[in-house]
A = this chain, B = another copy of it.
């Protein structure tokens, strides 16, 4: 029975708490947890944690979570710029720590967090790795079903910042949220590529801010809040868009793009992988579908749309049959299940902070390249 402390009780803090509650009913080999304490500055969220989620208690002081003797593992779901301090404290207390991506708001912070937490089990919230069809995609690639991989195309296009009246939340401020879309979205996209194909060695890239100022938020809100045209405005201090070309250690050629202010794609966290014998494609917007193309002898070759189902990893824990879909949050359940198993069995978890570091090394190279205007090695 793992005593759980959660820091930050917004979207992801709640999602993890809900997920931990669901694990025993979904996984026979469950890793049981107790929701011990939750920290958040907002009183209504603390109240909700206790009343609706069954936390034993709540606090406005995150240190009280980390120090609590009945807390065995810590989930960090506070804004990015707080990550490193929280992780350092949890690691200092010798507690396993699961931190939401990107583990810090800047590459430096992620590196600090990684260095601090080498002696504890760490986990990072790259939840899309756990999508059943992404897991299966990785298996197909590893088994050589696509032949030798030649090309990779990753992107994460979201509209959450596309409305110029979307408020200036912490996500748009380098001092509060750290870097912008690279940390927030491209991190996911590159992490998936690492998961599927291994390390990236060189990149050339660029960034842009399309909406330079936004209405100041009138009150604490999620990043989907909206201001009025006449509201006072503040400057956006991190990037809306990033694009890059890259090479993988394996020789694969890749392109990545991410935007939080694009119009059209709503949550298009997508990739395509191409090899000498076939290709794969996946998109978060249609997470229960995998596109598969294979070179075959028959004339009727073409991309097939493979629907998720209980024959794929994890899927059957949620619903039997084929083409009965799972949802976004179910990926968090899988992630938390696997992290709890690692904690229970005292073994490392992947993706941990090593994987978080792997991404920020790419991010650093991208940001250096955006400055230098040339290819930069990933160090």
In contact, B320 and A11 (Cβ under 8 angstroms): yes
A305 on interface, CB distance cutoff 8 Å: yes
In contact, B302 and A304 (Cβ under 8 angstroms): yes
CB-nearest residue of chain B to A255: B243
Number of A residues near B (Cβ < 8 Å) is: 98
CB-nearest residue of chain B to A272: B264
Stretch at the interface among A75-83, A106-114, A309-317: A309-317
Q: Report Cα–Cα, A322/B301, bound state, in Å.
A: 11
Q: Report Cα–Cα, A301/B150, bound state, in Å.
A: 24
Complex copy number for this chain: 4
In contact, B322 and A328 (Cβ under 8 angstroms): no
Q: Report Cα–Cα, A306/B26, bound state, in Å.
A: 30
The residue in A15, A18, A322, A326 that gathers the most chain B C-beta atoms within 10 A of its C-beta is: A322
In contact, B253 and A321 (Cβ under 8 angstroms): no
In contact, A264 and B245 (Cβ under 8 angstroms): no
Chain B residues with CB under 8 A of A373: 204, 374-375
Q: Report Cα–Cα, A292/B293, bound state, in Å.
A: 13
Q: Write the nearest CB–CB distance from A184 to chain B, whole angstroms.
A: 13
In contact, A320 and B262 (Cβ under 8 angstroms): no
| A window 216-242: CB within 8 A of B | 222, 224, 241
Stretch at the interface among A66-74, A92-100, A169-177, A276-284: A276-284
A150-B210, A302-B304 known, 11 other contacts, Cβ within 8 Å = A28-B48, A136-B299, A150-B241, A151-B241, A262-B274, A264-B293, A266-B322, A285-B325, A287-B325, A290-B302, A325-B327
